[in-house]
Amino acid sequence: MSRAVPLDSVDLKILAALQNNARLSNKELAATVGIAPSTCLDRVNRLRETGVIVGYQLRVDPAKLDRSLEALLYVRMQPHRRPLVEPFVEHVLNQPETRELYHLTGPDDFLIHVAAENANALQRLVLDELTARDEIALVHTNLVFQRWLGGPLLPPEE
Amino acid sequence: MSRAVPLDSVDLKILAALQNNARLSNKELAATVGIAPSTCLDRVNRLRETGVIVGYQLRVDPAKLDRSLEALLYVRMQPHRRPLVEPFVEHVLNQPETRELYHLTGPDDFLIHVAAENANALQRLVLDELTARDEIALVHTNLVFQRWLGGPLLPPEE
DNA sequence: GATGAAACGATCATTTA
DNA sequence: TAAATGATCGTTTCATC
pLDDT beyond 70 at A1? no
pLDDT of residue B157: 87
pLDDT beyond 90 at A7? yes
CA distance B154 to B11: 10
Domain architecture of chain B: domains with CATH: 9-49 (1.10.10.10), 62-143 (3.30.70.920)
Chain A residues within an 8 Å CB radius of B56: 21-23, 56-59
pLDDT of residue B4: 83
Percent of chain B with pLDDT over 90: 96
The DSSP code sequence of chain B is --------HHHHHHHHHHHH-TT--HHHHHHHHTS-HHHHHHHHHHHHHTTSEEEEEEEE-GGGGT--EEEEEEEEESS--HHHHHHHHHHHHHSTTEEEEEEESSS--EEEEEEESSHHHHHHIIIIIIITSTTEEEEEEEEEEEEEE-----PPP-
Instruction: Share the mean pLDDT of chain A.
Output: 97
Instruction: Share the mean pLDDT of chain B.
Output: 97
pLDDT tens for A73-129 read: 999 999 999 999 999 999 999 999 999 999 999 999 999 999 999 999 999 999 999
Residues with CB under 7 A from strand D: A 25-27, 37-38, 41; B 10, 35-39, 42-43
pLDDT of residue A98: 98
CA distance B58 to A18: 6
pLDDT tens for B102-111 read: 999 999 999 9
The mean pLDDT of A16-20, rounded to a whole number, is: 97
Q: pLDDT tens, position by position, for chain B (158 residues)?
A: 577 899 999 999 999 999 999 999 999 999 999 999 999 999 999 999 999 999 999 999 999 999 999 999 999 999 999 999 999 999 999 999 999 999 999 999 999 999 999 999 999 999 999 999 999 999 999 999 999 999 999 999 86
CA distance B13 to A29: 29
Closest C-alpha among A22, A49, A44 to residue B59: A22
pLDDT beyond 90 at A146? yes
The confidence band for A147, taking pLDDT boundaries of 50, 70 and 90, is very high
How close B120 comes to chain A (CA, Å)? 12
Q: What is the longest distance spanned by two Cα atoms in chain A?
A: 58
Residue A26 CA distance to nucleotide C2 C1' (Å): 15
